Structure 1
């Protein structure tokens, strides 16, 4: 065996020393982390809850299984509407939820999910990324010691299931309606009685008649929840959720403890999950709607008089909230400025294209 020359021995020694130093450094910068993720949405909903599974998959793949999310359904650790509190208190590290569930804590959070007569899914994403939405929302959430990442969108939702048909705004008087967020406050101005119930409690309430109507998301989820078996009139559109954004809310202290690479991977994984959820809904809603109609559910569109009355009531509500809540006014004004700028282009191009294609869909 030939003995290495002195300069080669020195080089080999340097490589060996470097490798001894590098291995612990790599291990230190890529620690094994397991976070609990509680969701506000039932496990049976394979698009909303399934987004948690996809997000966990993306994180695991990008970190060689070193950064793991463990998704839990509502009630397994905390109730569905307790997700934000659980993250704030570090009961869990993160949660998938809709920020409009927490308007009782801070009305401005509703803008982060999407307001009645607000933005559609694409414009909500655009406002979040480029119109100030992310900055404004996270400055508000800092008071709760959490940070939010956009991690999904439902697209335009359906208007829900009703036990009786609607002819005019007068039919909303006394209507007991399961609806979340500021949409419930808008309808309350028109005489409805909004109820915020977890998904699992809605069916028996509709069946017993303690609810007259209920909305959830759209056909893909509504079919699974079975509301059409006890309330056969299915209305469109869900004007209170033209593009409802879901969020991953993360405890601010736990996020700060992550290596920078993990924080970057988490942000990118949430963006990928955001795209996945909307794509999944666009693929699964049409066949689900066909199956529901074949089962006897009757499709309806809200009368124009109800749409106009609801828009008027929404604008009144926003003026009231803006007058007494500076954070809501800031978020609302930002969203409205973005909408004012975006809608003329949308009307000219995107909307005209979609209308033409829908009108001529049988020709090819």
Structure 2
């Protein structure tokens, strides 16, 4: 899907959220979700969605359902969110499943997929394919005591900030680079040393020379980190993250004690947040990109040789991961089957980029 705005299924989602406000099934008991987050609320489309969710939950429930958001590291560090929610140390948490791929390899497929689905297609698989059942099955099978729901999504990210032009695969060899998720496995096959740093540590690592290059998120978000002050070549498209899903995890014991109305309220608000997050992200990128030259930044689009190389290495990564982990293979097979069917719709329904 070339632009999520083409399919405003969000209208129905937002309507459902409004309708749920007046539902009489909500329990009289109050609910407080204490929610540590992986991304600061100062970061648009990364951290702002969960702050929006917290505001909306209080509003639409007339104060009966509240969420207290804890900035990264204030209550639980981002890498510990899943374990903290599962154990009951906190009753909820906000992150992205890609952070757990070391524990569950398939988790990355519920976060961002190289050369994978864009936002509309991703949501179609999650909500109306087998995505959500597989998503929950992954946590259940791994023994985590959590209820999972997508609670934000953003469109493509940039695919790298470099201090020099990258014209051929050999130019990447030997670089140390901050890189996220499955895309990091691709870069490693090209001789890049990768590390997954939290956003707040990237600028310092670049400044000190601990890393040579980085990717993090969308232009408006990267700007907040000041990446343009150190590295001047910003590459597109975001082949490694055409869309990124963020999750709300709720402790299953807490979830089980919630009324059906409370559960529906949280789920519906998260669906509305999917709309809100992608709209926010889509609206703010071009203004930042228009001013890139003023900051000495050169926006570049990967040449075909580089894109073909990334894709061929991604195919190798998929072959290795599907062979190594049965559940990764299960999720990948299901997603691939869905996407093959979706291709028929996409190929016929949307205008080619050149005709827009």
TM-score normalized with structure 2 length: 0.90
1:5-43 CA distance string (max 9 Å, x none): xxxxxxxxxxxxxxxxxxxxx999221111111111123
Once residues 312 and 273 of structure 2 are traced to their aligned partners in structure 1, the CA distance between those partners, rounded to angstroms, is 35
Once the 2 structures are TM-superposed, how far is the Cα of residue 351 of structure 1 from its aligned partner? 4.4
Q: Secondary structure at the match of 2:105?
A: coil
Q: Secondary structure at the match of 2:47?
A: helix
Once the 2 structures are TM-superposed, how far is the Cα of residue 303 of structure 1 from its aligned partner? 2.2
Q: Secondary structure at the match of 2:58?
A: helix
Q: Secondary structure at the match of 1:118?
A: coil
2:258 maps to 1:258: yes
2:234 maps to 1:238: no
Once residues 214 and 275 of structure 2 are traced to their aligned partners in structure 1, the CA distance between those partners, rounded to angstroms, is 27
Unaligned runs of 5+ in 1: 1-25, 358-364
| Alignment partner, residue 40 of structure 1 | 38
Once the 2 structures are TM-superposed, how far is the Cα of residue 343 of structure 1 from its aligned partner? 2.1
Once residues 241 and 354 of structure 2 are traced to their aligned partners in structure 1, the CA distance between those partners, rounded to angstroms, is 20
Q: Secondary structure at the match of 2:72?
A: coil
Once residues 316 and 215 of structure 1 are traced to their aligned partners in structure 2, the CA distance between those partners, rounded to angstroms, is 22
Q: How does 1:1-364 map to 2 (within 5 A)?
A: 29-142=27-140, 143-352=143-352, 354-357=353-356
Unaligned runs of 5+ in 2: 1-23
Contact 1:114/1:124 (<8 A) preserved:
no
| Alignment partner, residue 22 of structure 1 | none
Contact 1:36/1:69 (<8 A) preserved:
yes
User: Cα–Cα, structure 1 residues 204 and 258, in superposed 2: closer, same or farther, change >3 Å?
Assistant: same
Q: Secondary structure at the match of 1:108?
A: helix
| Alignment partner, residue 12 of structure 2 | none
Aligned residue-pair number: 331
1:90-117 CA distance string (max 9 Å, x none): 2211111110111100110111112111
Q: Secondary structure at the match of 1:29?
A: coil
Contact 2:76/2:84 (<8 A) preserved:
yes
Q: Which has the higher contact order (CA 8 A, sep 6+)?
A: 2
Once residues 305 and 201 of structure 1 are traced to their aligned partners in structure 2, the CA distance between those partners, rounded to angstroms, is 32
Larger fraction in helix: 1
User: Cα–Cα, structure 1 residues 328 and 98, in superposed 2: closer, same or farther, change >3 Å?
Assistant: same
Contact 1:122/1:243 (<8 A) preserved:
no
Stretch moving more, 78-87 or 237-246: 78-87
1:223-244 CA distance string (max 9 Å, x none): 1111010001000011110111
Q: Secondary structure at the match of 2:291?
A: helix
1:136-159 CA distance string (max 9 Å, x none): 011111221112111111101111
User: Cα–Cα, structure 1 residues 309 and 28, in superposed 2: closer, same or farther, change >3 Å?
Assistant: closer
Once the 2 structures are TM-superposed, how far is the Cα of residue 272 of structure 1 from its aligned partner? 0.3
Larger radius of gyration: 1
User: Cα–Cα, structure 1 residues 351 and 159, in superposed 2: closer, same or farther, change >3 Å?
Assistant: farther
